[in-house]
Amino acid sequence: MSLEAVRYRRGRLLILNQLLLPGQAEYEEVGGVRAAWQLIRDMKVRGAPAIAIVGCLSLAVELHQREESVKEDLATFVRESLDYLVTSRPTAVNMARAAQDLSDFVVSEVQRPDSTAESLKEKLISRIEGLLEKDIRTNKIIGSHGAEHILSRAKTDKVIILTHCNTGSLATAGYGTALGVIRSLWSMGRLEHVYCTETRPYNQGARLTTYELMHDKIPATLIADSMVAMALKEKRISAVVVGADHIVANGDTANKIGTYQIAIAALHHGVPFYVAAPSTSCDLALESGEQIVIEERPVGELTDFNGVHVAAPGIGVWNPAFDITPHDLITAGIITEFGVHDPRELRKVLIDKIS
Ligand code: MRU
């Protein structure tokens, strides 16, 4: 079993094709930006942080092969590539945030009188390569903040966690966000059990989260999405922890479709509800969740199952890939690398930490 979504060394990028999991662990070479765009769109790699990392690394692979002599030409190529990558999965904000950071960096480098096309290329590649390690480091910090917070409020020695979608090593550079919190609890010996949803229609929970939980030998049970309310009522769940694709200034959060109804059910049953995500999933440019663009996916993801039609031909289909959980349903807090925050205070925390 492999838990590495991404394998990289300078000039070469491989991704684990997540469409084949859990049956086959097969790596696919990514030759450059166009190939990365397509495999992200096809969901061979998914999860907001992993999308950004693969997108940026595909640019590093292409940069490694290029031999521009004029720095402005290289800068144009980088900006156009980043703009293109951002269109692959519009709700996941991490790619857009990384693109902004790299574009700003390019502008400042090009302005330096001593910079050359070669030095720009070298610095960009190094900056992109740094993203892999930074993401894993951040996730481990998120994991320990989340675990400590959950335990400080728990009424039992060991806790039971419910999670949705896949937020683990396969959705990030490694370790994971919500699944990182679960991994931290497990390593502390304070996790009794995990309930993970199958996460229709794409089954990231059934195919990928179960794969990661079984890899780490974490005691876990798979449930259908429609069983969440019943599980919250019957299974002594201590907390719900989910990831995020886009968190905006007021704390509203876009995450995998189904998250919103889990938050409603958690509130009804008095179960603390957490969102775990790196600050690179936060976006202070948008004020509220209503402004987030929600990706709609192809109808076949709902009408077909493993290539077999399961719905009557001609039926109408609506397939939004994400929903918005309003900040007041995130009752226990948003976990970032900076700590656990009341969603209404997230803006202030981010401004304080970033400035
Ligand atoms: O459509 P996906 O599989 O890319 O959606 C993934 C999610 O919604 C995750 O919860 C989110 O990206 C956080 S992953 C650390």
Tell me which of 79, 105, 135 is where a domain ends. Answer: 135
Residues 90 and 185 placed together within one structural domain of the fold: no
pLDDT at 355: 65
Q: Are 196 and 209 contacting, i.e. CB atoms less than 8 angstroms apart?
A: yes
Tell me which of 135, 159, 180 is where a domain ends. Answer: 135
The span from the CA of 211 to the CA of 316, in Å, is: 33
Both tokens of 62, joined, read 């292409």
In a domain, 241, yes or no: yes
pLDDT at 3: 87
Show the ligand 1 pocket: residues with CB < 6 angstroms.
46-49, 92, 165, 167, 171-172, 177, 204, 243-245, 255-256, 321
Tens-binned pLDDT, residue by residue, of the chain (355 aa): 778 999 999 999 999 999 999 999 999 999 999 999 999 999 999 999 999 999 999 999 999 999 888 999 999 999 999 999 999 999 999 999 999 999 999 999 999 999 999 999 999 999 999 999 999 999 999 999 999 999 999 999 999 999 999 999 999 999 999 999 999 999 999 999 999 999 999 999 999 999 999 999 999 999 999 999 999 999 999 999 999 999 999 999 999 999 999 999 999 999 999 999 999 999 999 999 999 999 999 999 999 988 899 999 999 999 999 999 999 999 999 999 999 999 999 999 999 997 6
CATH of the domain at 308: 3.40.50.10470
Q: Whole-prediction pTM value?
A: 0.97
Number of domains in the chain: 2
Output the 3-class SS for the chain.
CCCCCEEEECCEEEEECCCCCCCCCCEEECCCHHHHHHHHHCCCCCCHHHHHHHHHHHHHHHHHHCCCCCHHHHHHHHHHHHHHHHCCCCCCCHHHHHHHHHHHHHHHHHHCCCCCHHHHHHHHHHHHHHHHHHHHHHHHHHHHHHHHHHHHHCCCCCEEEEECCCCCHHHCCCCCCHHHHHHHHHHCCCEEEEEEECCCCCCHHHHHHHHHHHHCCCCEEEECHHHHHHHHHHCCCCEEEECCCEEECCCCEEEECCHHHHHHHHHHHCCCEEEECCHHHEECCCCCHHHCCCCECCCHHHHEECCEECCCCCCCCCCECEEEECHHHCCCEEEECCEEECHHHHHHHHHHHHC
In a domain, 290, yes or no: yes
In a domain, 130, yes or no: yes
Tell me which of 117, 135, 153 is where a domain ends. Answer: 135
Residues 76 and 208 placed together within one structural domain of the fold: no
Domain that holds residue 85: 6-135
Residues 123 and 158 placed together within one structural domain of the fold: no
Residues 110 and 59 placed together within one structural domain of the fold: yes
pLDDT at 14: 98
Residues 213 and 114 placed together within one structural domain of the fold: no
Residues 98 and 155 placed together within one structural domain of the fold: no
CATH of the domain at 38: 1.20.120.420
In a domain, 104, yes or no: yes
The span from the CA of 188 to the CA of 195, in Å, is: 18
342 carries an active-site annotation: no
The span from the CA of 232 to the CA of 162, in Å, is: 8
Instruction: Write down the residue that tokens 């429609």 correspond to.
Output: 226
Residues 308 and 205 placed together within one structural domain of the fold: yes
Distance 164 CA to ligand 1 centre (A): 9
pLDDT at 1: 72
In a domain, 174, yes or no: yes
Residues 288 and 317 placed together within one structural domain of the fold: yes
Residues 15 and 150 placed together within one structural domain of the fold: no
Q: Are 212 and 168 contacting, i.e. CB atoms less than 8 angstroms apart?
A: yes
Closest residue to atom 15 of ligand 1, CA basis: 167
In a domain, 1, yes or no: no
Tell which atom from ligand 1 comes closest to the C-alpha of 48: 12
In a domain, 301, yes or no: yes
In a domain, 215, yes or no: yes
Residues 131 and 162 placed together within one structural domain of the fold: no
Residues 245 and 97 placed together within one structural domain of the fold: no
Residue to mutate, 42, 140, 167, 253, ligand 1, most ligand atoms under 8 Å from C-beta: 167
Residues 23 and 108 placed together within one structural domain of the fold: yes
Residue to mutate, 204, 240, 295, ligand 1, most ligand atoms under 8 Å from C-beta: 204
* Catalytic residue selected from 245, 252, 283, 323: 245
pLDDT at 76: 97
